[in-house]
Amino acid sequence: MTARRATAFAPASVGNVAIGFDILGFSVEALGDRVTVCRSATPGVTIRAITGVAENLPLEAAGNTAGRALIAMHEALALPFGLEASIDKGIPLGSGLGGSAASAVAAVVAANAVLDTPCTPLELLKFAMQGEAVASGSLHVDNIAPSLFGGLVLTVGIDHPRVKQIPVPPDVRAVIVHPHMFLGTREARAILARSVALADFVWQTANLAGFISGCYTNDLDLIRASFEDVVIEPQRHALIPGFKDVRAAAMAAGALGCSISGAGPTMFAWSVAGSALAVEEAMVAAFASRGVATDHWTLGIASRGARVEDA
């Protein structure tokens, strides 16, 4: 029998991964959001409660990322019952760790478990994208897709998205350092220039192609050589206090690359396992020398995405 109530977990994620603005991201299992969805006699979508590390979020469904994603699902499927959601935030707001995406993904994955006829993962992706748009003002997929599918994920297309999970060399670790400050995604997107110099376009394209090729062929040297964002990072780094010092410290400690996680202010690095602790300590120390406290994690890039935990 179909469950009437389900809880799903969706992991945090690092968007862009330096060279794949709006199209590439990887999941971060250390943190995530949980959403419980019940079938309800109240028509439409309602948000019952928001708990956890970010409580000041809209309870009005249309203004809430999870709520908006559920509305998209509810309308597309013309559901004969209402959906009631309770959101437990594990990802800090404005951290650059894909919190709005995770709430939207957890909501649609939980809701899917209470449907008589479940949706496909690509349908869930599209519903969750509508939720993400509420938070950031744009339909980008680089957090939604890795949170839903897990691992390093490339998404090609918006209306008909093609999702590709990219293999990551097994020795690679992701170091994530979250400074205790808020940075709004809308604000960090609003400062971006609308056009790109041709030389930067060529360089960034080469880096994206090199990075993906390096992942497929286990070529750490190619990953290291390609791990540079010449378009977005130069426009955004001033929003993060100590960015240049943190990046330089990570690279000096042996990182393959270091950049901004999504819209920031969290920073991330990739490193081989043997250098990961030194990279983490160097990044944390560089933030600390600016008086900025952090949370930090080192983890593998697991290809486990959102899942139902209880139904």
The answer to the question of residue 68 lying near ligand HSE (CB under 6 A) is no
The answer to the question of residue 31 lying near ligand HSE (CB under 6 A) is no
Touching ligand HSE, residues 233-262 (CB under 6 A) = 262
The answer to the question of residue 296 lying near ligand HSE (CB under 6 A) is no
Q: Which stretch binds ligand HSE (CB under 6 A): 37-45, 109-117, 136-144, 221-229?
A: 136-144
Handedness of CA 124, 125, 130, 132 (dihedral sign): positive
Minimum distance from residue 117 beta carbon to ligand HSE (Å): 31
For residues 38 and 227, which CB has a smaller minimum distance to ligand HSE in the complex? Answer: 227
- Of 65, 136, 259, 298, the one binding ligand HSE (CB under 6 A) is 136
The answer to the question of residue 16 lying near ligand HSE (CB under 6 A) is yes
Minimum distance from residue 18 beta carbon to ligand HSE (Å): 11
- Of 6, 9, 14, 15, the one binding ligand HSE (CB under 6 A) is 15
Contact string 143-172 vs ligand HSE (x = CB under 6 A): x-----------------------------
- If we measure between CA atoms, which residue out of 257, 262, 265, 218 comes closest to residue 239? 265
Residue 26 main-chain phi, psi, to 5 deg: -135, 150
Position 11, amino acid: P
Minimum distance from residue 48 beta carbon to ligand HSE (Å): 26
- The HSE-up count of residue 124 (CA atoms within 13 Å, CB side) is 30
The answer to the question of residue 142 lying near ligand HSE (CB under 6 A) is yes
Neighbours of 53 (CB within 10 A): 14
Residue with tokens 């990075």: 211
Question: Which residues, at least 6 apart from 199, have a Cβ–Cβ distance to it below 8 Å?
Answer: none
- If we measure between CA atoms, which residue out of 83, 87, 85 comes closest to residue 44? 83
Minimum distance from residue 24 beta carbon to ligand HSE (Å): 9
Minimum distance from residue 261 beta carbon to ligand HSE (Å): 9
The answer to the question of residue 140 lying near ligand HSE (CB under 6 A) is yes
For residues 21 and 127, which CB has a smaller minimum distance to ligand HSE in the complex? Answer: 21
The DSSP code for 160 is: S
For residues 136 and 207, which CB has a smaller minimum distance to ligand HSE in the complex? Answer: 136
Report CA-CA distances (Å) from 51 to 47, 61, 82, 86, 88: 11, 15, 21, 8, 5
Question: Do 166 and 152 meet the contact criterion of CB atoms below 8 Å apart?
Answer: yes
Minimum distance from residue 143 beta carbon to ligand HSE (Å): 5
The answer to the question of residue 183 lying near ligand HSE (CB under 6 A) is no
Tokens of 271: 């490193």
CA atoms of 260 and 240, how far apart (whole Å): 9
- If we measure between CA atoms, which residue out of 19, 31, 54 comes closest to residue 228? 19
Chain residues that interact with ligand HSE, rule: CB under 6 A: 15-16, 21-22, 136, 140, 142-143, 185, 188-189, 262-263
